Amino acid sequence: MIKLLALDLDGTLLDSKSGIPAGHVRAVCRAQQAGVQVALCTGRSLNDAAAFSGALEAPADWLISCNGADVRRPGQPPVFTGYMERALFERLLDAGAARGAEPCMYTPERVYYSRAFERFVDSIRVQGCRLDYENRPDYVPAYTREAWDAALDREGGAVCKAILYHDDPAVVDAVLDRLRAEGGYELAPSAMFGGKIKNVEVNRAGVNKGTALLALAAKLGVPRDGVMAIGDSDNDLAMLEAAGLSVAMGNAPDYVCAAAQYRTATSDENGVGLAIERFILNGEDGI
């Protein structure tokens, strides 16, 4: 019996317009009413996770943000953290600078961003994606090494994750290879729009959605076969592999679907609602 449900946000709980469809909202509420604890499990910041939690009929029971680096109940202190040491982030800065790649840095309260991030946002907006950050007080520009040093001083070492950006996907691949060779990192590359845009999410080694989900399940006394996860992208792979019951969205690439036991409809076709209906509310064996 499923007792803990982990839901990715983008491409899963959220539709292609970055909203939560009414069918998903109703299904999540019904799962909670059936006694299932719901965890939003996202690469997004804690603030974003909390905002989408607040858009549900009842808040999510748990927020797993920044790819598992921060696990907490909404509005409460974290119960688990997997923050990146300052030296690791500084090494990442150096690896990116050698190729002209620049990062974003996620902390529990803020996201620090570079010029490369601004260009990335412009690129995805051309493709019809929305990412509105300019007027958000939790988004802070950091355009120089001195600004990054000041940000690290301000945050006291609480770096949840980073994302590396460059206009050329080949440069991202080169930096990715260097970070793999150096070690110490959990790396989740992401290609968009047929590979025209690429970035890589970076956490401390061993920190991912899967390890965070299993740690939460252990805290709650939920066995692995009582954990269900639904996702659609690279940073969901560890979560899908960790869960006793894994479901890929219909909009997920084939290799993500291959890592899951089942496949549901897309995020625009009530995929999360259908999965919850079958596996949690009806207890069926497949989609």
Q: Residues 131, 273, 233, 152: is their CA dihedral positive or negative?
A: positive
How far apart, in Å, are the Cα atoms of 272 and each of 25, 181, 189, 198, 287?
9, 38, 24, 27, 11
The single-letter code of the amino acid at 17 is: K
CA 110, chain centre distance (Å) = 16
User: Which token pair is 270?
Assistant: 């009530």
Mean pLDDT, 10 residues at a time, the chain of 287 residues: 96 93 98 98 96 97 98 97 96 95 96 95 82 92 97 94 95 95 94 78 97 98 98 95 98 95 97 97 68
Q: How far apart are CA 265 and CA 194, in angstroms?
A: 21
Q: How far apart are CA 123 and CA 101, in angstroms?
A: 16
Q: How far apart are CA 194 and CA 64, in angstroms?
A: 29
How far apart, in Å, are the Cα atoms of 149 and each of 81, 83, 146, 156?
22, 17, 5, 11
How far apart, in Å, are the Cα atoms of 42 and each of 9, 122, 141, 269, 283?
6, 22, 23, 20, 26
Q: How far apart are CA 59 and CA 2, in angstroms?
A: 19
Enter the pTM of the model. Answer: 0.94
Cβ contacts of 201 within 8 Å, gap of 6 or more = 43, 67, 161, 162, 163, 187, 188, 189, 190, 235
Q: How far apart are CA 148 and CA 150, in angstroms?
A: 5
Q: What's the pLDDT score for residue 193? A: 63
Q: What's the pLDDT score for residue 195? A: 65
Q: What's the pLDDT score for residue 287? A: 44
User: Which token pair is 204?
Assistant: 């401390």
Q: Phi-psi category of 26—alpha, beta or left, where left has phi over 0 and alpha has psi -120 to 50? A: alpha
The single-letter code of the amino acid at 169 is: P
Dihedral over alpha carbons 240, 38, 138, 115 (to 10 degrees) = 20
